Amino acid sequence: MKKDCACYMDRFLALDRNERLPLGLTVHLLFCGKCRNFVRRFTLLERRCSKENLSRISCDSDDVAGIMRRLDSAYGQYGLKHERVPMRHWVIAGAALVICVALFEIFAAAVSSALFAVPLSLCFAFTIILYCAVFVGANMDFFIKKWKIQ
Ligand SMILES: [Zn+2]
């Protein structure tokens, strides 16, 4: 590209998405094949990236966080990336909780001591409610995306 072409490409790259091309840039693109190819490829790449990958990339993924750290050295101080508990761990903990409650009910029925069964059942009920509240609170974005709550 000529020096003039670099100036036009800087003007093109400074435009916002879907912003109308200035007349001077449009005229240059009509007569310059290299710049026209660059703009065409750039537009195709931008469309491909925005449509195909936008839904796949999570904003708190390690790749995005790494890029943001490189762009802005103060990114780590913002505290935007928070550690998330994987869904597998939530399922394992919930299953263990349900199994413990079921085992307790079996043993409590065998002993048939209502003195301990009622308070411990209330304790288990409170634990399950607390587990559900923390699970929903920690995965709020999942539920919002899944059911499209706005
Ligand atoms: Zn050019």
Q: In the chain, where are the structural domains located?
A: 3-56, 87-147
Ligand 1 centroid to residue 141 C-alpha, Å: 45
Query: What percent of the chain is predicted at pLDDT more than 70?
Result: 76
Ligand 1 centroid to residue 39 C-alpha, Å: 10
The listed range with the strongest mean pLDDT (49-53, 67-71, 108-112, 120-124) is 120-124
- The predicted structure's pLDDT at residue 59: 66
Ligand 1 centroid to residue 49 C-alpha, Å: 25
Instruction: Answer for the pair 126, 89: CB distance below 8 angstroms, yes or no.
Output: no
Asked if residue 77 has pLDDT above 80, the reply is no
How far apart are the C-alpha atoms of 86 and 30, rounded to whole Å? 52
Ligand 1 centroid to residue 34 C-alpha, Å: 6
Instruction: Answer for the pair 123, 100: CB distance below 8 angstroms, yes or no.
Output: no
Note every long-range contact of 92-95, with CB atoms under 8 Å and residues 24 or more positions apart, other chains counting.
93/131, 94/131, 94/135
What predicted TM-score, i.e. pTM, was given to this entire model?
Answer: 0.43
Two structure tokens written together for 36 = 């026209």
Strands (E), 16-102: none
Binned at pLDDT 50, 70 and 90, residue 16 comes out as: confident
Between 130 and 3, name the one with better pLDDT: 130
Two structure tokens written together for 67 = 């890029």
Q: Mind listing the pLDDT tens digit for each residue in 17-45?
A: 778 889 999 999 999 999 999 999 888 88
127 to each of 83, 84, 93, how far by Cα in Å?
23, 21, 12
- The predicted structure's pLDDT at residue 7: 92
